[in-house]
A = this chain, B = another copy of it.
Amino acid sequence: MKFFSGMKRLLFGRRLANAQMGETLLPKRIALPVFASDALSSVAYAPDEILITLSLAGMAGFMFSWQIGLAVGVVVAVVVMSYRQTVYAYPNGGGDYEVAKENLGRFAGLTVASSLLVDYVLTVAVSVSAGVINAKAMLPFLDGWEALAAVCVIVVLTIVNLRGVRESGAAFAVPTYIFMVSMILMVATGLFRIFVLGQDLMSETADLTVVRPDGGDDLMGWALIAILARAFSSGCAALTGVEAISNGVPAFKPPKSRNASRVLGMLGGLAITMLIGIIALANLTKVHLIDEGTGTHYIDQLGNTIHSAANTVTGQLARTVFMDWFAPGFYVVVTATMLILFLAANTAFNGFPSLASILAKDGYLPLQLHQRGDRLAFSNGILMLAAAAIALVILFDASVTALIQLYVVGVFISFTLGQLGMIKHWTRELRSEQEPQVRKRMIRSRVINVTGATMTGVVLVIVLVSKFTHGAYLALVAMGLLFALMLAISNHYLAVEREVALTPESDRALPSRVRGVILVQHVNLPTTKAIAFARATRPTTLTAVTVSIDDDQTELILDQWEAEDFGIPLKVIASPYREITGPFIKYVAELRTENPRDVVSVYIPEYVVGHWWEQFLHNQTALVIRTRLHFMQGVMVTSVPYQLASSDARRIRTKKAAERAKAADGRRVR
């Protein structure tokens, strides 16, 4: 225990009191990197996934990359604008879940919640995997160890997040800013060299020709459209993370809504600029990627077939732009990309536990998720997220191209439902609002949200159709299971709440008498203590009971009992099956039957030991008896702990944990 609590402090830092909560509110300059790293970082893999998907159509596919990039950019712009409305309308966070629940009902809310929870897990898995793959441009030895490396990164992120949100914000701001600046500088430098200096920049894959799996001609017609739709869907991964801000409004410094809205705007602008810039540069330098798994492959200028995948777009661009000009630039870009992707996963570490906590408060998840850990972070939610993400990374061997098929669906489900909810919100607000100025603003907001709902709805259909069989169905199954689970939990809590509610008819009568029963298997100090405590409570009757499993032993107990002269009768129960539990339970049950209006109080001496392994040597019977007595009406079970000497060290630690409550005096009395 000492070791663990020591480790806990070391890893997670001092715990924070409620009053220190204000300290953890985020200024804009910190909120941007914390909440926006997800959306920003996706420019590090969205272009890759667009190009990889397009490669399925052959060389002709790459020609469409800039149109796809533009389309994604338009969606980003519309969604960001829509969310600025949400952030103002719902300043208490909860985001789409809150919006959908309030405006569209319980089931819509739960649908959004399931989608978001699944997508948070995928954000961690995808971002960390992409970070590891990006790092390979610089650290080739990672090849073949991607999954292990990704798992290690997730573990580190988990620890950092269990320490609390503030420190992670501060620690994450620097690399995020370096990433933004270095990416923009890379694009700018590339364009400058091409258009101003007129240099002929060519990527390392420019000379490689992409051949379709069957070696056939480039795709045309409907087949091409299907590929374009999938490429667009994968590119929409750039959208994830936008909703994190609307969930996280309460973490902003006041004025919360305005600050959140500004950060959202900055984020949108940056994401669009970087995404389109990278795709344009990739087009200009002729970056060609293949989808290794499907059988697409390269043919080089000598006609040799090459099956292995190339570096990421960012890696290739950084090499092309900087390597022969300003080599450190390459390392900065690749390092910053790797870091931002790991930090993107951090967005989910903020969003998931926060959403889980809200869901727990609403009774959809176990209450433990609601209570904050002693580090103000929602420790339980963080641990669940980490476990699920690690499982996914191992299952899909850290392949971004495989994971991305499951991704995005959830985000667009919640986008669409959230926007629909916002439309209903404004319609309702307009019903009661008279002020023309305000009405005008509301109508404008509603127009934006209608546009948003339409666009995200269309994208959702495209994503579903183009990705369903490629893995999206798995994400839908996971969401369905979560939905069912949360509904079941909610129904359980509601049923229990109804059952235990006090009504005017509730029986408030006191039991007439207390029948005390002490279980005695040895005559020793713990038993003596139990007897003393039991007598102190002055029950109406007090009986000691011993279960005879060994005649000699029983004989001994009876002799000792007589010698001690406790003044309490000792009843011996025969145990034909040589077990203590059954006959004792039966005795208590009979006592209940004979005295139906009384309450039975069972006293069980328990040994308190100092080491966990000593538990195996004691108290097993007490544990079983307590569990079984709990099912009996009108029985209460009292543990009378006897602290063995070995428990001293542990007790002292417990006392310290109770913040030196000066309980030392108590030790004088037994």
Residues of A within 8 A of B (CB): 15-19, 366-368, 371-372, 374, 489, 492-493, 495-497, 499-502, 506-514, 522-526, 528, 532-533, 535-539, 549, 560, 564, 575-580, 582, 585-586, 589-590, 592-593, 596-597, 599, 601, 603, 606-608, 614, 616-618, 620, 626, 628-645, 647, 650-651, 654-655, 657-659, 661-670
Contacts and interface: CB of A to CB of B under 8 A. Distances in A.
Contact of A633 (B585, B614, B666): B666
Nearest to A669: B596
A663 B590 contact: yes
Given A586-B661, A636-B639, A641-B635, A502 B514 contact: no
A526 B510 contact: no
Contact of A637 (B366, B579, B641, B664): B641
B510 A535 contact: yes
Q: Could you say how many copies of this chain the assembly holds?
A: 2
Contacts of A368: 620
A608 B507 CA distance: 19
Nearest to A576: B17
B499 A666 contact: no
**Per DSSP, are chain A's interface residues mostly helix, strand or loop, or mixed?**
mixed
A209 to B, nearest CB: 47
A456 B650 CA distance: 49
Nearest to A537: B537
A345 to B, nearest CB: 26
B607 A661 contact: no
A267 to B, nearest CB: 31
A640 B631 contact: no
Given A371-B578, A593-B661, A630-B641, 11 more contacts: A371-B580, A374-B579, A489-B617, A507-B670, A511-B533, A533-B601, A589-B661, A630-B643, A631-B650, A632-B654, A633-B666
Contact of A371 (B17, B533, B579): B579
A596 B650 contact: no
Nearest to A614: B492
A663 B592 contact: yes
Contacts of A526: 500
Contacts of A667: 633
Contact of A628 (B616, B620, B632, B654): B654
A32 B118 CA distance: 63
Contacts of A501: 524-525
A564 B504 CA distance: 10
